[in-house]
Every structure is written in structure tokens, then in C-alpha cells.
Chains A and B, each alone.
Chain A
């Protein structure tokens, strides 16, 4: 194991302990470990060198494998990993875009976030073949991205997704001026998840232990965020099949959850709640009791509407067998989070990298038998809404045991530890949000790497729409509801 070290979630390691393997060994090493990638990124290493860090997730043992490769100024290429392990495709594209080191024989080495005017689209020719270009500005009020459909009549052969319009240079900004406010603005629909991941990396580097109370409030907020967005998306799926009853009712039900969040922290999406060292707001008893009442109502209302909706045959004919991603495909291309679970790949970092509360509060993984179609993604959302609400109720009940604890821990102004590496993985509602921070000898952040689940999953959407009617695209898209801003950073 001298070629790799094992690290834990939210625990820092010395940079000096990270092994360096040779470029030629890279592929064999990664193949022999056989784990999925969660980090694959470069960093300027001085004297024209680039150091590539590789983090693989050992989900079964709650550990990560970490190693690195140093490319000297003359090494401008290597044999791509994607040829053997397709899940690496987007990581290698990003690495190439940022550092110009080419993964040879990569099957689709295209831009990730820049050079949209030079994007080499796949081309198809034939008598009945045509292309449909959509975006970057879409019909609805959503984020920008460009989609290019290669169609034969109404059926889609292939969809190319060109992103990068949302690129704001977040990783660069994180070096200069890292803050909770910046972290929660990376992706405004996963505020709690992003801010928690950022705060955990900083706490690991500053050596802060946050209080039980703060941990529980964060955890409750994360599950409320999951429930709220899933309910909203169930409404959006209903809206995209013109089942307006569902769209209205789920929309109104989501309002109840986010307004509860507003009562807790003054923002409907949880902004300002999580901070390095803990949380900014305690939950007073009256707010807590009202929250419990509201969640009971939400749970009942979601049951009621879901049952009504799924009994409707016109609804089912639109949801079933639309936009299918098989289990094999999902695993092969490395889908994560909710999209993976809907396809039958059990990945959930809440359970794969559990904190102490998962066992203490008796939260258990309940596998979902999905076949990867829109129906599976809808039903999985319903299941997760119910689970999240029941988790929040247990967490809030437990909170009463820690009444006297502080919400912010000591040591917020500590300096970061020098020459360290830390990874923090948080299961947002889309899937694993990975934040990796490295510090230099001056105790400054020298590299900040963020991976949104959408980074892995956009290609899954491309596969889902193959051989579907192009008119089902909005429905497929909504069933994933991937992030543009999280991908583009």
C-alpha cells in the first residue's frame, strides 16, 4: 500500500504523507484498486511541474484512497484512464482543460467550462437526421446551458450537453477570500449541504470540534433541504407532464418546509445558518414545536398528493419507462447520489461515511429498487422526502438533550494548520458534494477543489434521453434536476 494512503472523511492529513506514483503506473494502480473517483485534479507544483491528486472512494469501508502523480514540464500527456474506466471521463477533461496535460485516447476530450465557441459537437448525417440546438437561455426560469440533440424524426439518438456558462471562478475565489457566504452561493439550491462541506473542511484544518447541538441543527437543516427540494421537484415533474394539480399542490407543500427554514434562520433556503464552528441560530422551543407540527402536515399532504397522482393512468404512462438509465450503465459512467440510487446503485454518503448520529439515532439505509426511469426517480424522491421528515423529527427531539450547549464552538479564529489535505463529503439532495482543501506552509489555502454530484451525472442525462422522444426531454431533465452552477463553479 505504499502507493496509496487511506484517509477519512473530515480528517486532515499531512501533505508530506501523500505518496507519489509514476505516470506510467497510474492506470494500473487505479485499475487494481478498482474504486470510483471522487477527486482527480491538478495543482501547480512549482518549477513548471503539475501534481495530480487522485482520490478514490472506498464506500464499503468508509475510507478514501489518496495518491498523486507529478508531471514535470516535459510530460504533456499520459494514457487516459477513461478508456478502461469511463467514470473518469469528466475528471480527465477537467484536468486537461486546466493544465493542458492530455489524456491520450480519451474518447470525448471536449471542453468542460470554457471555449464554448470551439466545442466539437458530434455530428450525424443522414436523410432524416437533424439537430436541435437549445440554450444557453431556456424557456423557463432556470440556469443556462446548451443542449444539442441529434434526432431521427422525433427520437433522440444522442444529446450533447455543453456547459460552462455559469463559470464564476469559485475555486480561484476560495483561495483569496474564502467565506461561508461564498460557499453557500456556489449552488443556491443546496445551501446547507455546500456550506456544511465548506465548514467541515475549515473545522478540520482549524482543529475545531463543534458541539452536539450544532451538529444536530446542521443535520436537521440538511434533511429539511432535501425534503423541500424533492417536494418542489415532484411538483416540477408533475408540471412537465401537464398534471397541474400535482404542480400546484407540491409547490404549496414545499412552501411550508422552506418557510419553516425561514423561521429557524431568517432565510427560506437556509442562508446564514451554518458557519465555521457551528451554526448561527439556535432553534427555540416554540419554533421547534411549530416545525414538528408543520412537518407532520407536510408528510400527510405529500402522501395524499402522491397517492392521488400515481393512481392516474395518464400520469403513469408518461413516467414509466421514460428516460431509463440501466444499473450497469449508471455504475459504469459513475453516477452518484439520487440519480444512481434510482438506477439501483446504492450510493449514499450519509450511510457510506456515517457520523455518530446515524447509529445513535437509529437511521438505517433502506435500499430502493429502481430501474432508472423517470418513475423511479419520482418514487425515490417521495421515499426520501418521507425518510428525511422522519429523520428531522428524531433529530429535533434529540436536540432537547443538548439545550445548554453552545451553538458556536471555541477556536473559530484559529489559524489553519500548515501543509495539510482534507476532504469533506456531504450528501446533498442531489448526491455527494465533495470539498477538498489543501494548505501551504504559510497556513493559507493553496488549493480548493469542489465536486458537485452534477459533475458526474450530466452525462447520465445524456444517456437517459437516448431513444426517447425529444418532447420527453423536459421531463427527463426535471427528473434529474442537475445543477449548472455546481458544475460550472
Chain B
């Protein structure tokens, strides 16, 4: 008993107080800053997912795994065209906005990327229960989504929780590129969520197939059939990216 109390006191409070302005380590590879003037010849063929377009220069964060192969802080030290900043607010409600060009700057992106609706804020602003479906996710995004509920990030304080049954949920969070073998279960799960409901795509795999684009074992028809409300880039998605993205969407904050 005393040991338990002592441990409790020793641990103290560890939650991040201001989650919307939480500092991020500078090494984190987040929002890419592009420079149109730089020479891009050394970047040909380096992108494993086709996120990087050289002519004209752009990066699709929906495809990007943030591996750093094209960045100055990654493998290609000689090339100055791409720099990954530690900006972690990457979420958008619009698939097209995930495409970053040299004109896009982080502050402006954060201000305009999430466009929420009054009904969403009214309906889910104080409580959003989500059912997560891992559709061939590698367990990276899954671990980070679990981390959202740990004592540091403590997502539950904002009323956002993962629940066990789709019947209890207000929406689903999809991770992974959606394998053929998971397609039926995913759709079944979605149909089991009562209306109104939202769909969140979490991670490069879910948004575009990521490194698994072109695999013959995927079946992404679900995404053609049903509307998607929120795109959260990352590989895996950082808990701060996820929480701030969802908060922006349900509270209308930037």
C-alpha cells in the first residue's frame, strides 16, 4: 500500500497541459517545407510511395511516410528542396489540401486545413466515441492511437475515447491500407455505427495505401462508397497529430 502511494507521488502529474501548443522535438519529421528554387535532380526516384512530385515540386502528405529520404535532414544531405519541419498539425478535412507545394506555409496550412461544420461541433463537440478498425495496419498507427489515451496525452479529458463496440460509437477510425480480407468486416463495422457518423482515415496507408499502393491484395472500395470526414497523415500518426486533428474538427479550433 505504502509502496503504491510512494510510486504515485514519485510519478507526479505527467499530462501535457496545453495539448494544442505542446512542444515537439525538433528532430520530428512533420510538415514538409518545399523550396522551388532548389535543384531537384538528386531526388529522382527516391520517394518510395510516389508522394513527391518533382515537376512541379509538391509532396502529397496523404501518401508521404515521412521517411525523410528526400529531406535535408534525411539521407540526401546534398539536396535542399525539401525540409521536414517539426510541425505536427497535419490533419485536413479535404484530401486535396494534403498536397503541399512550395507556396504552402505551415501556419497558413494549420489555419485553413480543417473546415468543420456547425452540426459536427454541436453534435460531437463535447463527446466523441470512436471505433477503431485496423484494416491491415502494421500496428504502428494502432500503438500510437493507444498512446493517445495514456497518461501523457490523456485524450479522454476532451471527451474523445475509443470504444469496444461500433454500436456505441459516433464514427470509425481506419488504419491500414484495407486488405481484401478485411474489406467485409470494415464495411460491416461501419454499417453497425448508428447515424450520424464520421469516418476518419488515420495514416498514409489508410489515406492512399502508403507503401502498399499497388498491392494486389488490397480492396479499397469502401472509400469509394462512403464519405470520409477527416484525413490524418503520418507513418505512424503521432498522438499529437491525431488529438489536435480531431479536436480541430469537433471543436472548430485551429
Contact = CB atoms under 8 A, between A and B. Distances in A.
Q: Do A and B bind each other?
A: yes
Of all A-B residue pairs in the complex, the 6 with the closest CB atoms, nearest first, are: A188-B140, A188-B138, A169-B217, A139-B164, A181-B48, A251-B150
B3 A141 contact: no
B140 A185 contact: yes
B89 interface: no
Contact of B211 (A185, A251, A311): A185
Contacts of B142: 141-143, 188
B231 interface: no
A262 B25 contact: yes
Nearest to A135: B185
A116 B84 CA distance: 42
B135 interface: yes
Interface string A255-269: 100010011111111
Contact of A255 (B27, B66, B147, B211): B147
Contacts of B179: 165-168
Interface stretch (A45-53, A76-84, A171-179, A376-384): A171-179
Nearest to A264: B27
Interface stretch (A57-65, A301-309, A351-359): A301-309
Interface string A134-146: 0011011111100
A147 to B, nearest CB: 14
A322 interface: no
B75 interface: yes
5 contacts: A114-B181, A168-B217, A307-B3, A312-B4, A484-B139
B7 A245 contact: yes
Nearest to B173: A141
Contact of B137 (A248, A275, A485): A485
Interface stretch (B8-16, B34-42, B246-254): B8-16
A434 B84 CA distance: 33
Interface string B211-233: 11011111000000000000000
Contacts of A304: 7, 10
B162 interface: yes
A245 B218 contact: no
Contacts of B33: none
Contacts of B14: 252
Contact of B150 (A176, A252, A268): A252
B212 A173 contact: yes
A187 B138 contact: yes
B245 interface: no
Contact of A141 (B27, B146, B180): B146
Contacts of B4: 245, 308, 312
Contact of A263 (B27, B136, B180): B27
A143 B137 contact: yes
Contact of A189 (B3, B27, B140): B140
Contact of A248 (B29, B48, B150): B150
A263 B7 contact: no
A275 B7 contact: no
A191 interface: yes
